[in-house]
């Protein structure tokens, strides 16, 4: 049953991909219908899977049927390398089902929204196909039961992001941004691939279950696991835009806005966090890795928030906020507490909702105003009331205002950090408390600049057409209601659920690492009480939000046309340029590589090939000289006589020597 649902989940977007790539460019309508229908079917598949996973009464203990029920995939071996056989495996559990549902729903919203958003675009057809492929790739990552399937989806997403970011031919920097997005993430992927290969070689298989069992059984030394952890982390940092591989994310704004929604909410960046959860036992095996994760996450949280504080482009503000929010998720994964991954994934889900909403709203704003810059907006609450309402909800959720989604999930993170032992916990807690008021400040700044004061643009703004408005309104639901997830245990039978957790742990052999892995719990229960908000921390964070918002309002109030960020003074350009890390990356990596490339070419042409040509030329010259020595009878005679004498000498000398 699961297999059939998952077939629907994957096959539907695959068909959309094929149709989209093979259809002629003018077949807009056909492709639009196919894409939307396919994504909807896929979402249906995800929903059914979730329902099945959540309610199906699994037989416990030693019945192999459980494995069969949750795992699906090709029984055909697609590649037999002798030492390794590659069979693509998919596996659906609670986590993947939930994520798949999230991915397909956001993708559905994006597909519907795009029909309106790209009304004028000649290249809608390949665009829609690429979005379907993007969705399919992310779904592949989500349901991957083996590391190679994971990598296939992982890299396919990279190429999709490349294609879609570079889609808009009117944006001059789009091609560069596209290349940067793919390349920076790919640099991280070197590590990811190497890490996976070391794991697979050690375990003798690419099957995640086998690999994780091998990790548990001590097939790897501590050093190896530290290395593997750090290598995998590189890939995750690339995909999830974590410091220092985050530089692509703000530039990726060059892509069409719906694509930003897709990348920031459902795909790409979510993949990193998901992989972190999926392979959690590997990371938990090394303190060094955990600490590194904590530091990277914490830096990203603060860095993103500060950069968002000064950016003028509303999409850049949202992009930096994504970085910051992803920082939370990654940072909390460094904690060894039981609820850590649950909290991270909870935030991932709620963030997906409100960030998709925010980007679609930003698209509506940009569509209406004709500019990305907040300095050309202002006072839009009157002309675009519906967009204003939706954006307000999204921003409130982002800032963590109760009772919107962000509040609950951020509280879960705070709780997890509070209760975590060791340095990692302290780092994450500090970063969280520091970032909450900053987040509120930039959210407030954005809100005020866009919707209040006087309109500073030229075009006549209006609310978007229904095809764009529909998805926006639909996405306000999770933004407001995602907090209800914490009430979910009321829906399903608690005892069945716990039993299934244990049953799955028996199969995957994950006892002793993380009681909740891989079926992280989204619910407060006897096993993990700390996901629900605690009154003290909730109060503190709400106060911090208010302080941040108030500061921003105070800065804005003096001059309603000016950017409140000017109050930052000398720090503003530093923040706006995201601490000049782009320039640093350019100086430390890009330009040295280019110089090296030029040197390699020079060396190859002048030295390596030069030697070859010198040998050729030298032989020819030698031939010419030799031939010139052979002109004229006198020369012949001298040559011949000398030669004869020489031979005689050689004969005698050799005779003497070898006697």
Partner 1 sequence: MSALLLSAALGLPILAAILMLFVPVRQAPWWGLGAAIIILAASCALLAGREHFGMWHEVNVRWVSNLGVNWHLGVDGLSWPLIGLTALLVVGCAAYLLDRPVQRDVRQLLALIFVLQFALVGVFLALDTIVFFVFFELTLPPMYAIIAGWGGAKRTYAARKFALYTLVGSALLLLGVVLLSIDAGTTNLVTLQGGGHGSLAVFAILAVAFAVKSPLWPLHTWLPDAHTEAPTVGSVLLAGVLLKLGTYGFIRVGVGTMPDAAADASPVIGIFAVGAIVIGALICLAQTELKRLIAYSSVGHMGFVLLGIAAGTTAGLQAAVIANVAHGFITGLLFVLVGIIKERYGTGELAQLGGIRFSAPRLAAIFGLATIASFGLPGLAGFWGEAFAIVATVQRGGGLWMTLASCAAIGAALTVAYFLRVLRQVIARPADAVQPTSGWSFGEVIAVVPLVLGVLVLGLWPNGVLSLSLGPVTQIAEALP
Partner 2 sequence: MTIDHAALAPLYALSGAILLIFVLDLVPVPRIVLLGVGFAGLGVTAALATTVADERRSFCTEQLCSYVTSRESRIAAAALCATVAIVLGLSVPWLRENRDRAAEYLFLLLGSLLGAICVLGARDVLTLIVALELLTLPLYVLVAFGSRGSSGSVTFFVLSVVSTSVTLLGVALLYAVSGQVHFSALAQASIADDAAPLAALGAALFVAGLAFKLAAVPFHAWAPTTYDSAPIPVTTYLATVSKVGGLFAFVLALNTARSHLSSPGALVSVIAVLTIVIGSVAALRQVRTLRLLAWSSVAQLGYVVAPLVTADGAQAAFAYLAFYVPISLVVFGALLALRGVDDGGTLADLQGVARNRPVLAAIVLFGLLGLAGIPPALAGTWAKVAVVSSLFDGSVGWIEGIVSAAVAIGIVVGAAVYLRLARAMFVAGPPVRRVPISAWIWCALGLSVIATVIASVWPDEIFEAATDVANSLASQVS
Q: Which residues bind partner 1 (CB under 8 A)?
A: 21, 25, 76-84, 123, 126, 148, 151-152, 154-156, 158-159, 162-163, 166, 169, 172, 174-176, 178-179, 182-183, 186-187, 189-190, 193-194, 197-198, 200-201, 593-594, 596-601, 604, 608-609, 612, 616
Cβ neighbours around 605 below 10 Å, total: 11
Nearer to partner 1 among residue 18 and residue 568 (C-beta): 18
Q: Find all residues with CB under 8 Å of 597, minimum gap 6, and list them.
A: none
End-to-end CA distance of the chain: 92
SS3 sequence of 191-245: HHHHHHHHHHHHHCCCEHHHHHHHHHCCCCCHHHHHHHHHHHHHHHHHHCCCCCC
> How many helices, marked H, and strands, marked E, lie in the chain?
28, 4
Give the distance, in angstroms, between the CA of residue 527 and the centroid of all CA atoms in the same chain: 31
Query: Distance between CA 136 and CA 52 in Å, rounded?
Result: 21
Rg (C-alpha) for the chain, rounded Å, is 30
Nearer to partner 2 among residue 610 and residue 623 (C-beta): 623
Q: Find all residues with CB under 8 Å of 428, minimum gap 6, and list them.
A: 294, 297, 298, 331, 332, 334, 335, 413, 417, 420
Nearer to partner 2 among residue 170 and residue 658 (C-beta): 658
* Residue 652 interacting entry, from partner 2, partner 1, none, C-beta within 5 to 8 Å by type: partner 2
Query: Distance between CA 332 and CA 214 in Å, rounded?
Result: 25
* Residue 609 interacting entry, from partner 2, partner 1, none, C-beta within 5 to 8 Å by type: partner 1
Shortest gap between Cβ of 644 and partner 2 (angstroms)?
A: 5
DSSP SS3 for 248:
helix
Nearer to partner 2 among residue 593 and residue 654 (C-beta): 654
Phi–psi pair at 50, nearest 5 degrees: -60, -40
Q: Which helix (H) or strand (E) holds 147?
A: helix 147-165
Nearer to partner 2 among residue 51 and residue 636 (C-beta): 636
Total residues belonging to the chain: 659
* Residue 198 interacting entry, from partner 2, partner 1, none, C-beta within 5 to 8 Å by type: partner 1
Quick check: 635 binds partner 2 (CB under 8 A)?
yes
Quick check: 172 binds partner 2 (CB under 8 A)?
no
Nearer to partner 2 among residue 77 and residue 648 (C-beta): 648
Shortest gap between Cβ of 27 and partner 2 (angstroms)?
A: 52
Shortest gap between Cβ of 610 and partner 2 (angstroms)?
A: 19
Residues near partner 2 (CB under 8 A), total = 29
Nearer to partner 2 among residue 596 and residue 646 (C-beta): 646
Shortest gap between Cβ of 617 and partner 2 (angstroms)?
A: 11
Nearer to partner 1 among residue 179 and residue 515 (C-beta): 179
Query: Distance between CA 137 and CA 55 in Å, rounded?
Result: 27
* Residue 487 interacting entry, from partner 1, partner 2, none, C-beta within 5 to 8 Å by type: none
* Residue 643 interacting entry, from partner 1, partner 2, none, C-beta within 5 to 8 Å by type: partner 2
**Contact (Cβ atoms closer than 8 angstroms) between residue 341 and residue 281:** no
Quick check: 561 binds partner 2 (CB under 8 A)?
no
Please, where are the H alpha helices in 509-632?
Answer: 535-558, 571-576, 581-585, 591-602, 609-628
Q: Which of residues 590-619 bind partner 2 (CB under 8 A)?
A: 619
Query: Distance between CA 112 and CA 469 in Å, rounded?
Result: 10
Stretches 171-179, 304-312, 481-489, 637-645: which one binds partner 2 (CB under 8 A)?
637-645
* Residue 55 interacting entry, from partner 1, partner 2, none, C-beta within 5 to 8 Å by type: none
Shortest gap between Cβ of 657 and partner 2 (angstroms)?
A: 8
Nearer to partner 2 among residue 570 and residue 657 (C-beta): 657
Q: Left (φ > 0), alpha (ψ -120 to 50) or beta: where does 580 sit?
A: left
Nearer to partner 1 among residue 176 and residue 381 (C-beta): 176
Single residue of 22, 172, 611, 650 touching partner 2 by CB under 8 A: 650
Q: Find all residues with CB under 8 Å of 78, minimum gap 6, and list them.
A: 86, 87, 88
Stretches 211-219, 398-406, 550-558, 640-648: which one binds partner 2 (CB under 8 A)?
640-648
Nearer to partner 2 among residue 85 and residue 645 (C-beta): 645
Shortest gap between Cβ of 140 and partner 1 (angstroms)?
A: 9
Q: What is the largest CA-CA distance in the chain?
A: 114
The residue assigned the tokens 């982390």 is 233
DSSP 8-state class, residue 262 = I
* Residue 636 interacting entry, from partner 2, partner 1, none, C-beta within 5 to 8 Å by type: partner 2
Shortest gap between Cβ of 63 and partner 1 (angstroms)?
A: 31
Shortest gap between Cβ of 633 and partner 2 (angstroms)?
A: 6
Nearer to partner 1 among residue 137 and residue 414 (C-beta): 137
Shortest gap between Cβ of 635 and partner 2 (angstroms)?
A: 8
Q: Which of 450, 358, 343, 344 is nearest to 398 (CA)?
A: 358
What are the residues binding partner 2 (CB under 8 A)? 619-620, 622-624, 626-627, 630, 633, 635-637, 639-644, 646-648, 650-652, 654-656, 658-659
């Amino acid at each position: 049953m699961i297999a059939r649902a998952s077939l629907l989940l994957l096959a539907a977007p695959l068909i959309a991909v094929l149709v989209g790539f093979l259809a002629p460019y003018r077949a807009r309508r056909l492709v639009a219908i196919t894409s939307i229908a396919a994504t909807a079917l896929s979402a249906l598949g995800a929903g059914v899977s979730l329902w099945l996973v959540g309610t199906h009464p699994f037989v416990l203990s030693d019945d192999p049927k459980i494995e069969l029920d949750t795992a699906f995939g090709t029984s055909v071996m697609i590649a037999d390398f002798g030492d390794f056989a590659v069979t693509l495996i998919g596996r659906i559990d609670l986590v993947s089902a939930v994520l798949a549902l999230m991915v397909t729903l956001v993708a559905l919203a994006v597909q519907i929204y795009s029909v309106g958003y790209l009304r004028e675009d000649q290249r809608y057809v390949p665009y829609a196909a690429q979005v379907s492929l993007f969705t399919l790739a992310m779904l592949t990552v989500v349901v991957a039961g083996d590391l190679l399937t994971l990598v296939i989806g992982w890299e396919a997403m990279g190429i999709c992001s490349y294609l879609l970011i570079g889609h808009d031919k009117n944006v001059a920097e789009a091609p560069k941004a596209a290349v940067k997005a793919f390349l920076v993430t790919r640099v991280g992927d070197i590590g990811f691939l190497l890490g996976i290969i070391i794991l697979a070689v050690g375990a003798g298989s690419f099957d995640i279950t086998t690999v994780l069992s091998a990790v548990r059984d001590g097939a790897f030394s501590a050093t190896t696991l530290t290395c593997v952890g750090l290598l995998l982390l590189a890939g995750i940092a690339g995909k999830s835009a974590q410091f220092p591989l985050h530089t692509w994310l703000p530039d990726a704004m060059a892509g069409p806005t719906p694509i930003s929604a897709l990348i920031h909410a459902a795909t790409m960046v979510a993949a990193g966090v998901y992989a972190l959860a999926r392979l959690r036992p590997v990371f938990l095996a090394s303190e060094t890795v955990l600490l590194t994760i904590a530091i990277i996450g914490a830096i990203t949280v603060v860095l993103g928030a500060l950069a968002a504080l000064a950016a003028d482009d509303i999409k850049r503000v949202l992009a930096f906020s994504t970085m910051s929010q992803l920082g939370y998720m990654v940072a909390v994964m460094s904690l060894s507490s039981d609820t850590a991954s649950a909290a991270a994934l909870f935030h991932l889900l709620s963030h997906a909702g409100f960030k998709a909403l925010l980007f679609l709203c930003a698209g509506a704003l940009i569509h209406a105003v004709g500019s990305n810059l907040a300095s050309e907006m202002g006072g839009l609450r009157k002309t675009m009331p519906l967009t204003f309402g939706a954006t307000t909800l999204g921003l409130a959720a982002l800032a963590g205002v109760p009772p919107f989604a962000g509040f609950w999930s951020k509280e879960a993170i705070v709780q997890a950090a509070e209760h975590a032992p060791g340095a990692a916990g302290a780092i994450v807690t500090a970063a969280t408390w520091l970032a909450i008021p900053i987040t509120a400040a930039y959210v407030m700044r954005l809100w005020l600049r866009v919707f209040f004061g006087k309109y500073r643009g030229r075009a006549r703004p209006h609310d978007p057409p229904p095809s764009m408005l529909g998805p926006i309104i639909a996405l306000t639901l999770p933004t407001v209601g995602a907090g209800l997830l914490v009430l979910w245990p009321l829906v399903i039978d608690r005892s069945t659920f716990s039993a299934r957790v244990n049953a799955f742990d028996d199969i995957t052999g994950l006892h002793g690492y993380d009681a909740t892995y891989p079926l992280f719990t989204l619910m407060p229960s006897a096993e993990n009480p700390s996901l629900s908000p605690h009154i003290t921390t909730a109060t503190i964070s709400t106060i911090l939000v208010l302080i941040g918002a108030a500061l921003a309002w105070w800065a804005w109030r003096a001059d309603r046309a000016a950017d409140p960020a000017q109050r930052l003074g000398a720090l503003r350009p530093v923040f706006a340029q995201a601490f000049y890390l782009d320039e640093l990356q350019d100086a430390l990596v890009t330009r040295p590589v280019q110089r090296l490339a030029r040197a390699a070419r020079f060396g190859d042409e002048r030295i390596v090939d030069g030697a070859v040509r010198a040998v050729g030329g030298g032989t020819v010259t030698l031939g010419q000289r030799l031939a010139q020595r052979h002109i004229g009878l006198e020369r012949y005679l001298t040559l011949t006589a000398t030669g004869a004498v020489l031979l005689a000498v050689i004969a005698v000398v050799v005779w003497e020597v070898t006697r």
